[in-house]
Amino acid sequence: MFANSELEKVKQLQSAYRRRKKAVVEDAWIDETFLDIDILQFFNRVTKLEATEKQKELLIALSNLDDSTLRKIIISAGRQTGKSLCCAVAAVYLTIKHKLPLLIASAKDNYIYGHIVKIFSDNPELSHYVVTQGVSEIVPKEGYKLKNGSELILLTSTEKGLRGASGRIMFLDEAELMDEQTIITALGNLSGDIKLILLGTPSSKHSKFNDILKDPKKFGFNLFTWSETECSWQKDLDDKKRLMTEDQWKREVLGQLSEPDQRLLWDSEIIDRCIRNRWRDIRWY
């Protein structure tokens, strides 16, 4: 039997041991190798895929927070060509490397965040960066916070959802489906250092995404574009060629505006101006 004082000593030793064990675990959270690699190595490591040349160019531009000419980026490419995946990798990379708020909105299911969830679950060593893990996945379904102070916030892709939202980087996925006002609001949020990335596939209907794609320079955007035909993982292209109209092929596979769209498209700005001018001309009796 221990005397009371000895028992106390054992208890103290036990709790010191527990504290030390916890500290060791907490201190070991950073996997330094993630902080030393560049975005191309990071893409390779977390996806186990080899990026295409066009994807590499995009990844480098996405990870560059210093070059002010890369603040506005538009990505237009065929379907399933890795647009959302590249943005997901860039989002994780940037939040690990820098302390920043990063915002993502998608017109449909948030595929960027879907890829992010998978990146964390395929690379459990990343879990040490996460403040509070999710219930079924390493990152919670509504966005994540990292121990370095970074935060990834998911927003709804409406004018209201984006109004006043402030972050250092904003991704708008499936941007061709977003209301014109939503994109204008996102552009309006741009101040100082903010980086805005629009990604999508040209739409058959009028959209602000198409407007910008028609003349990216005019809107101050850098265009990154590639086609499904450059993506070795894309199969059934012969079937698609047979089934699609020429315009569909151009938009959906090549990621380019089709000829009629290009001819028919009016800049929203011009449409607005026409309506405003007509309105002024109307005389009320």
Ligand X SMILES: Nc1ncnc2c1ncn2[C@@H]1O[C@H](COP(=O)(O)OP(=O)(O)O)[C@@H](O)[C@H]1O
Note the residues at the interface with ligand X (CB under 6 A). Answer: 49-52, 55, 77, 79-85, 111, 233
- Indicate the residue whose CB is closest to ligand X: 82
Sign of CA dihedral 44, 47, 50, 52: negative
Minimum gap (Å) between residue 136 Cβ and Mg ion: 23
Of 123 and 189, nearer to ligand X (C-beta) is 123
Q: Does residue 84 touch Mg ion according to CB under 5 A?
A: yes
Q: Does residue 171 touch Mg ion according to CB under 5 A?
A: no
- Which residues, 88 to 117, sit near Mg ion by CB under 5 A? 111
Number of residues that bind Mg ion (CB under 5 A): 2
Q: What are phi and psi of 89, to 5 degrees?
A: -60, -45
Q: Tell me which of Mg ion, ligand X, none is bound by residue 157, counting a contact when its beta carbon lies within the kind-specific cut-off of 5 to 8 angstroms.
A: none
Minimum gap (Å) between residue 19 Cβ and ligand X: 44
Strands (E), the chain: 72-77, 101-106, 143-145, 151-156, 169-173, 195-200, 222-226
Of 34 and 43, nearer to Mg ion (C-beta) is 43
Q: Does residue 76 touch Mg ion according to CB under 5 A?
A: no
DSSP letter for each residue of 74-114:
EEEE-TTSSHHHHHHHHHHHHHHHS--EEEEEESSS-HHHH
Minimum gap (Å) between residue 98 Cβ and Mg ion: 24
Of 77 and 257, nearer to ligand X (C-beta) is 77
Q: What is the CA radius of gyration of the chain?
A: 24
Of 21 and 141, nearer to ligand X (C-beta) is 141
Of 190 and 244, nearer to ligand X (C-beta) is 244
Q: If you count them, how many residues does the chain have?
A: 285
C-alpha pair distances (Å), 200 with each of 113, 152, 211, 227, 251 = 15, 21, 13, 12, 10
Q: Tell me which of Mg ion, ligand X, none is bound by residue 127, counting a contact when its beta carbon lies within the kind-specific cut-off of 5 to 8 angstroms.
A: none
The SS3 assignment for 10 reads helix
Of 171 and 219, nearer to ligand X (C-beta) is 171
Contacts of 121 (CB under 8 A, 6+ apart): 137, 138
The one-letter amino acid code at 230 reads E
Q: Tell me which of Mg ion, ligand X, none is bound by residue 200, counting a contact when its beta carbon lies within the kind-specific cut-off of 5 to 8 angstroms.
A: none
The site for Mg ion (CB under 5 A) is made up of 84, 111
